[in-house]
Chains A and B, each alone.
Chain A
């Protein structure tokens, strides 16, 4: 067994150039370990959906290769696809079919016997709270129900790898939380999950490892813990018991505070700083703290900083290459 075969998915030098010349992927290498809960993040148009499209064979690759549990998607297509379940970003089932028929039909495509297909349909529709809707036409479902239906459909053949492309987009908070619980449960039961999402809080809450893609290239691929440890600043919001007329002052110039209202203020400080010292300073100033929370999404901050860093590097590279071209042209002119 090679190293790559030990991964749920292993991607090497994946490139995709569309017919209009747009280079969506510029040589992506990515390994996701079996059993992992993995986040693939990136801004719109970064290449996330292209990667998922190529994995699920809906998009043809230009070059490179993909293995799912050691099976090459191009040469061992059937074995590779049996291990894979995909929940796409947009609804892609017939709106005129009944909910139960959609899931049962998908089971049939994977060769499940009618009896097993019925059992699995019942199992997953119940798990996703859709069993009482089984005889309803799919177009009658709400947006959140449609998303859950696509998850039930992707799970009906019980794949070892589940890829979810923004599964909670447009889903209310309560439902999103219940979907998180469900996804964590199936991950605990051994299903490897790859998740793309715009809700960075979701990635931070669910995923153990993360890759950030931008302009068709992986610009960060690490564990969530290691990524979050790179965070340099944090902003904390304090709720007070007593009234505060102004923002507390601190001797340490690295700590900035802002008054919000009579019972609330926020403090921005280096992530490495000792919070006990902060509390001591607040106590000295007579501030009695009732509660404290993080203001912003930590991952969001890192994500934006990585993208900004990527943009600056690209601009620098482009500027160097322009300068090089100019010099080359000049040399050519001299000759």
Chain B
């Protein structure tokens, strides 16, 4: 396939994905905005005023980066896993599989679609946070890099989940039993310094902790973890997940008999 054809194929998948989640915006864009808005109101505003400071910042300022990141992670993952699995379920994935679109373009198209939804929800949540606090971004470049890489990592993970999934239950198990605990225990609402030593050691094994803290560093200028180490880990995760997804696509796992 020529480069221009490859770009058109990629653009086609991306546009189709964006068209899908914007068509059902009441299911994809509004619910996370309402949920995170309630977190801002209840935890940040009402309870947060009684908590006072966390990690040297007002509690609402402390939780805003974590909540934005939570929205990005959940939506990037959910978009790819549900969209790709629906394509498998309705068999319309065959439209792409019989065409000459290379595997890596299929992967990049769906991942870009997931990132687009994650970032769009992240943007909505960020705008909502202005109602509750004056958000000032310390390191804009780092903040954008971290949010892009995190969205990509979880979009890739959602893609792999959808490849293996045989039923709609299979795409809700990982978000419910793995993703949600990792996010909530990843320092969205608290600084890990509050935990006992054993708790801190366990938290150090949670990759989401590094993503949230690096993002928080980008916005507030303070983090519980080494930012460069965290960035390196994000690149590593992206590489491993991308390679895994390509190998699975090449084998036809979950797609070709």
Contact = CB atoms under 8 A, between A and B. Distances in A.
Interface of A: 18, 53, 56-60, 77-78, 81-82, 84, 86, 88, 90-96, 101, 105-106, 108-114, 153
A57 B98 contact: yes
A18 B97 contact: no
Contact of A86 (B1, B4, B96, B98): B98
Interface in B72-126: 86-87, 90-92, 94-102
Contacts of A53: 257
Contact of A94 (B90, B98, B100): B90
Contacts of B1: 78, 111
A153 B95 contact: yes
B12 to A, nearest CB: 3
A110 B91 contact: no
B16 interface: yes
A17 to B, nearest CB: 11
In the A-B complex, the 10 residue pairs with the smallest Cβ-Cβ separation, listed nearest first, are A111-B5, A108-B12, A109-B99, A92-B91, A81-B100, A78-B100, A56-B98, A59-B257, A94-B92, A92-B94
Contacts of B5: 110-111
B42 interface: no
A58 B6 CA distance: 21
Nearest to A77: B100
B96 A109 contact: yes
Contacts of A92: 90-92, 94-95
Contacts of B101: 109
B11 interface: yes
Contact of B95 (A78, A81, A82, A106): A106
- Interface SS majority for chain A: loop
A60 B8 contact: no
B8 A58 contact: no
B257 A58 contact: yes
Contacts, number: 84
Contact of B97 (A58, A91, A114): A58
A93 B95 contact: yes
Contacts of A108: 8-9, 11-13, 15
A96 B89 CA distance: 13
B199 interface: no
A92 B99 CA distance: 14
Given A18-B257, A60-B252, A81-B98, 11 more contacts: A57-B97, A59-B256, A81-B100, A90-B91, A92-B91, A92-B94, A93-B92, A93-B95, A94-B90, A108-B11, A109-B96
Nearest to B87: A94
Given A60-B252, A82-B100, A109 B9 contact: yes
Contacts of B97: 56-58
Nearest to B102: A78
A57 B256 contact: yes
11 contacts: A78-B1, A88-B91, A92-B91, A94-B86, A95-B90, A96-B20, A106-B99, A108-B13, A109-B9, A109-B12, A111-B5
